[in-house]
Amino acid sequence: MADGEKKVIKISVRNLVEFVMRSGDLDNRRTAGAEKTAMQEGSRIHRKIQRRMGADYHAEVVLKHLVEEEQFEILVEGRADGIIEAPSGVTIDEIKGVYMDLYYLNEPIEVHMAQAMCYGYFYCFDHQLTGAVMQLTYCNIETEEIKRFQSEKSFEELENWFAGLIHEYVKWADYLYHHGLRRDESIKELEFPYPYRKGQKELAVSVYRSIARKKNLFIQAPTGIGKTLSTVYPALKAIGEGLGDKLFYLTAKTITRGVAEETYEILRKGGLYFSTVTITAKEKLCFLEKPECNPDACPYAKGHFDRVGDAVFDVIHQEAGITRETVLKYAEQHRVCPFEFCLDISNWVDGIICDYNYVFDPNIRLKRYFSEGISGDYLFLVDEAHNLVPRAREMYSAVVYKEDFLLIKKIVKPKDQKLAGLLDRCNKQLLEMKRECEGYTILTDIKLFMTAVMSLFGEMEKFMDSFPEFEDRDLVLDFYFALRDLLNTYDRVDENYRIYTEFLSDGRFMLRLFNMNPAKNLKECLDKGNSTVFFSATLLPVQYYKELLSGNQEEYAVYAESPFDRDKRLLLAANDVSSRYTRRNEREFKKIVEYIRRIVSAHAGNYMVFLPSYQYMREVEQLLAGMDESGKEFAWLAQSSHMTEQEREVFLEEFQEDREDSFVGLCVMGGVFSEGIDLKEGRLIGAIIVGTGLPMVCTEQEILKGYFDEKEQKGFDYAYQYPGMNKVMQAAGRVIRTVSDEGVIALLDDRFLKPDYQALFPREWDGYYAVNLNSVSGIVTEFWEERERQKL
């Protein structure tokens, strides 16, 4: 910013009117036919209406207005859906696609009219007009019926109204201005808090450069190098230089959110002035046993919007690192819904720590940042980015089950015969699909079914609004949301999707819209910001992740060298065992158990054994339990399925450093203990990995394989080998976490000795021993003896 130039505080028209004008109760019982515009379908309707208008109609007109304050300027910007320039005067058109019956809409929604009035004022101001007509165009997405409301406003009326609106916002803009000055000053003085480890400085420089060039970056960096600090620090430096304004730290797991919070706290101790909020799922924030966001069920919902502004103003002036506990404390004090409060806080902080969903999931993402027409100077740091591939596929896919249509029909039939008939029509169409399906069937055209679903959804809107309370309403509401997801996903369907039906093992019949390659959908969100850094210990091969996360093979990529002493790690690959299904017999299980026994007996300590499945684990458990007392040289405990957080903690507490004998934790590869677990400084000295981690052969994986084969992109590798090897590397990464760690990584499958698997080994795995059952004890014993000699 040049000398004498004022700082500009930006806000979108939509965010401004929604923030200033809200009041009253929080109430989710309204299915929001009129209040919440439809997403993808709404955009389609917008375009359709705009194309129908005459030559006087100008679509998607970008409008901005600058408000001068003493120390700064407020820039309010947005896009008017339409401006009609006719001889009789100018009309500002605001289009809203809705699913509700327009018969019940007697007047425009206040915030929609407010958006039109903002655009009306900006346009009149820019063109020196004496006034304009505000037009709200509501269109039913199912029937395409249109209802319009018009209101003529003079320039003076618009000017006075906007002055009142902006007056309510000025104190917030003033906060952002002074906070931003102090933040940027602190960043300029900020030093990296520790001596750089090997490779860490180069990593930080790469992050800064990619942000400065507004490019994306893929980082493959070994576990324990300090990826969080190495990405956050340069991103902060970039913000201090005006290269970004809001930093999103995105994670797949709760535990890595804690690492991000700790990193910010370390930097604050070094003088950083930078506010953050951690967004937590509604279920984990709600004061009630089960979230019921309406004033009858929840005292925090009643009058929420009347109090939440003061609550936000309070917390942002008192706290820097706003965690789940902080949110709950202030929400209790101000009697507001903690989840909605948390989302509002995000508007006024510098950094947001959250799950991937809040940026990428079309149903959950923060619409204040990622709605159509809204973008910003956002920087995205995507932690454990390998997890984003399967998560994104899930976010952009949708599924319905035939049996649900029958269940909902049974519930609603006594109340609404028409709705029951529409449910029956959809069910009959699914029955036709079911008759033609053998195992699973890929479909090319479901237009007829989707037309029926659209009619059903429109009727369900009316039903849910007409019956705010009835038995099993939760089931009907869940079904309503499933239909909404199906409609919104169907509008995305293109060459990156496959539509298929399948008989499930539990007897249900499923229709699924499956997103094979999520890159296009992810890019829609990433393009809202300036730069994205994807980082993980397992982004190999990087071409695979570029293809599925950004769709651009030209993106920057760096490989951070491991700072750890390779002599402290022993890597073994067994040539006489395999987890192939054809080799899963008692003889092979016994060899695996003997490998475990010989490795853990060589040196006392804690070990994790990662097995291909729970079924495989049970076979190993039986053999361990059957050992005679002389063979029991170690204690062991097995992971169970669906463990609670408390059960996980109890399991991890077993990994204590001081033991006379070894302890073995049996885990499932790809499960909760395969990644995000930080057992440092001797708490884990070995990972024994059984098998190559290949996903089970199933419909989903086979459809993926077929899709990538068609694209000539190595279907087996994309669907099986790369995801499998990813799980292997994540499990192996549990062992060496700090400079003082040492341990054994044993790969028990002869496939690891084949060239195609070795090509996927990270660089730091270049020295390994090929072993068999006869040689393994000697090699492991020799490694530990050498480690002891080194310490003398």
Please measure the distance between the N-terminal and C-terminal CA atoms of the chain and give it in whole angstroms: 59
Q: What is the pLDDT at residue 43?
A: 63
Q: What is the pLDDT at residue 130?
A: 96
Structure tokens at 347: 């508007």
Q: What is the DSSP letter of 322?
A: E
pLDDT digits (tens, 9 = 90+) for 250-308: 999 877 899 999 999 999 999 999 999 999 999 999 999 888 888 999 999 999 999 99
* Residue-by-residue DSSP string for 218-236: EEE--TTS-HHHHHHHHHH
pLDDT value at 460 more than 60? yes
Average of per-residue pLDDT across 300-323: 96
Average of per-residue pLDDT across 197-212: 94
Q: Which residues of 317-338 are buried (b: 16+ CB within 10 A; e: fewer)?
A: eebbbbbbebbbebbeebbbbb
Average of per-residue pLDDT across 374-379: 83
Quick one: what percent of the chain has pLDDT higher than 70?
96
Closest CA to 179 of 239, 260, 262: 239
Q: What is the CA radius of gyration of the chain?
A: 29
> Where is pLDDT greater, at 372 or 260?
260
Average of per-residue pLDDT across 16-28: 89
Confidence band for 32, pLDDT divided at 50, 70 and 90 = very low
pLDDT value at 527 more than 70? yes
- Which of these ranges, 165-169, 236-240, 510-514, 711-715, has the smallest mean pLDDT? 711-715
Q: What is the pLDDT at residue 202?
A: 93
Confidence band for 44, pLDDT divided at 50, 70 and 90 = low
Structure tokens at 608: 């994790």
Average of per-residue pLDDT across 212-229: 92
pLDDT value at 35 more than 50? no
What's the helix, strand, coil split of the chain in %, to 5? 45, 20, 35
Separation between Cα atoms, residue 640 and residue 618, nearest integer Å: 10
Distances (CA, A) of 197 to 93, 378, 606, 686, 739: 58, 28, 27, 24, 10
CB 547 within 8 A of CB 539: no
Give the DSSP H/E element, type plus range, for residue 94.
strand 89-98
Confidence band for 38, pLDDT divided at 50, 70 and 90 = very low
- Three-state DSSP at 394 gives helix
- Which of these ranges, 180-184, 386-390, 465-469, has the smallest mean pLDDT? 465-469
Average of per-residue pLDDT across 515-541: 95
Average of per-residue pLDDT across 125-135: 97
Q: What is the DSSP letter of 352?
A: E
Closest CA to 267 of 372, 213, 192: 192
CB 510 within 8 A of CB 399: yes
What pairs with residue 140 in β-bridges?
98
pLDDT value at 371 more than 60? yes
Q: What is the pLDDT at residue 39?
A: 46
Confidence band for 143, pLDDT divided at 50, 70 and 90 = confident
C-alpha of 306 from chain center? 31
Q: What is the pLDDT at residue 373?
A: 63
- Which of these ranges, 268-282, 573-587, 642-656, 713-727, has the smallest mean pLDDT? 642-656
> Angle at which helices 40-52 and 473-490 pack, to 10 degrees?
50
Average of per-residue pLDDT across 415-432: 97
Torsion from C-alpha of 38, 43, 47, 49, nearest 10 degrees: 10
Separation between Cα atoms, residue 349 and residue 369, nearest integer Å: 13
SS (H, E, C) 132-180: EEEEEEEEECCCCCEEEEEEEEEHHHHHHHHHHHHHHHHHHHHHHHHHH
pLDDT digits (tens, 9 = 90+) for 734-781: 998 877 889 999 999 999 999 999 999 998 898 899 999 999 999 999
- Which of these ranges, 114-118, 220-224, 257-261, has the smallest mean pLDDT? 220-224
The bridge status of strand 217-220 relative to strand 146-154 is unpaired
Average of per-residue pLDDT across 560-589: 93
The bridge status of strand 217-220 relative to strand 531-536 is parallel
C-alpha of 49 from chain center? 33
Confidence band for 466, pLDDT divided at 50, 70 and 90 = confident
Extract the runs of DSSP E, i.e. beta strands, from 430-517: 440-443, 497-503, 509-515
- Three-state DSSP at 109 gives coil
pLDDT digits (tens, 9 = 90+) for 166-190: 999 999 999 999 999 999 999 999 9
Closest CA to 284 of 329, 330, 325, 336: 325
The bridge status of strand 743-748 relative to strand 569-574 is parallel
pLDDT value at 680 more than 90? no
Structure tokens at 330: 């202030």
Closest CA to 739 of 205, 259, 193, 195: 195
> For 626-664, where are the alpha helices, taking DSSP H only?
645-653
What pairs with residue 278 in β-bridges?
353
Separation between Cα atoms, residue 700 and residue 301, nearest integer Å: 41
Separation between Cα atoms, residue 78 and residue 13, nearest integer Å: 5
Q: How much is the mean pLDDT over the chain?
A: 92
pLDDT value at 54 more than 80? no
Closest CA to 114 of 221, 225, 16, 235: 16
Structure tokens at 79: 């896009």
**Residue 541: is the preceding peptide bond cis (ω within 30°)?**
yes
Domains in the chain (CATH in brackets) are 7-170 (3.90.320.10), 275-349 (no CATH), 403-515 (no CATH), 566-791 (3.40.50.300)
- The residue type found at 748 is L
Q: What is the pTM of this model?
A: 0.90
Separation between Cα atoms, residue 704 and residue 699, nearest integer Å: 9
Structure tokens at 309: 């502004």
- Three-state DSSP at 547 gives helix
What pairs with residue 668 in β-bridges?
611
